[in-house]
Amino acid sequence: MNRGEGPPTPRYDGEGGTSRLTLAAVRLTPIRKKIPMSTQAPPLTAQAGKISGSYLTTQDGTQIYFKDWGPKDGKPIVFSHGWPLTADAWEDQMLFLSNHGYRTIAHDRRGHGRSSQPWDGHNMDTYADDLAQLTAALDLKKAVHVGHSTGGGEVTRYIGRYGTSRVAKAVLIGAVPPIMLKTGWHPNGLPLETFDGIRAGVLGDRSAFFKELSVAFYGFNRPGAKVSEGLRESFWMQGMMGGLKAEYDCVKAFSETDFRADLARFDVPTLLMHGDDDQIVPFEGAAKITATLVKGAKLKAYPGFGHGMCSVNKGVINSDLLAFIQE
């Protein structure tokens, strides 16, 4: 190559459409350019507590996805979803309440949905910490916290760990407190074998397991039930979005956590909503007992309603939620 000439044109050899790029004459010169410090990613400690788009970065670097609907100056309603779902499970309630002027927020629990999938932290303490960081980052005050199933446990542990300085009211729907597991003090709980079976289903073939679980979840196995294949598909899709490790670990969190001390810290108006035909979190071992542990709690049992009543019976649930929020 003569001085001043550019690089040679690559030569293609071969025939019949099969070519070989010959680069023997090309001398590659490495580019040594120092990257300015300003373009480098900041440490996790600098990102923690910050929101970017629809994501919050927590103290341990986990990215929590959340939806924030309705007028930003509306009274905040914060939703915590059940296992193995996502914030999408709350869309019926979010749309309804946002149309009534409320600001509605729902997040995907760590390891679920669109949130990142850390290896650790799949326990009620960390779930509550994530929720606390989200409410702080959004500067939510006098919020109504609504939790369904596992999400009811999350809300309960959140109040237990952080109190009610940012909480105006609480709603627990088909929620797991005071504990799901059968114990000496909780004879109406479910045996450990029940949860071992859930873990086995998740590990063995969670896709098939979630499809089967959706039937009892929504009460579609009851006589005369109107089966919605759309709801079943939505349940399956949300479940499959989560990480296997997170969903496996969460079984222990929602079944073995003792919430009695947390419930004792409730000092805000609390509504307990539970279907008396709940096949996932039986009424007798959950809301009926929780009502005796939360001072002044209002218990509302729904005859014939199942665990997925926020979707199957959304008209009734939405109306009762709105009435309680407006009280």
pLDDT at 58 over 90: yes
Distance from first CA to last CA of the chain, Å, rounded? 85
Instruction: Name the pTM for this structure.
Output: 0.86
Does 307 participate in catalysis according to the annotation?
yes
Structural domains of the chain sorted by starting position, each given as residue range(s) with its CATH number in brackets: 71-326 (3.40.50.1820)
Which is higher by pLDDT, 27 or 79? 79
Q: Considering the chain, what is the average pLDDT of its residues?
A: 90
3-state secondary structure the chain: CCCCCCCCCCEEECCCCCCEEECCCCCCCCCCCCCCHHHCCCCHHHHCCCEECCEEECCCCCEEEEEEECCCCCCEEEEECCCCCCHHHHHHHHHHHHCCCCEEEEECCCCCCCCCCCCCCCCHHHHHHHHHHHHHHCCCCCEEEEEECHHHHHHHHHHHHHCCCCEEEEEEECCCCCCCECCCCCCCCECHHHHHHHHHHHHHHHHHHHHHHHHHHCCCCCCCCCCCHHHHHHHHHHHHHCCHHHHHHHHHHHHHCCCHHHHCCCCCCEEEEEECCCCCCCHHHCHHHHHHHCCCCEEEEECCCCCCHHHHCHHHHHHHHHHHHHC
Task: Give residue-wise pLDDT tens across range 289-315.
Answer: 999 999 999 999 999 999 999 999 999
Residue 186 appears among annotated catalytic residues: no
Q: What is the mean pLDDT of residues 199-213?
A: 98
Q: Which one of the listed residues 107, 145, 274, 307 is annotated catalytic? A: 307
- Mean pLDDT for 255-282 is 99
**Which residues does 130 contact at the CB level (< 8 Å), separation at least 6?**
58, 62, 64, 107, 109, 110
Active-site residue among 130, 249, 262, 278?
278
For 216-266, write each residue's pLDDT tens digit.
Answer: 999 999 999 999 999 999 999 999 999 999 999 999 999 999 999 999 999
pLDDT confidence of residue 45: 61
Q: Which of 115, 149, 214, 234 is catalytic?
A: 149
Instruction: Quickly state the pLDDT bin for 91 (edges 50, 70, 90).
Output: very high
Can 262 be counted among the known catalytic residues? Answer: no
Q: What average pLDDT does the segment 31-59 reach?
A: 67
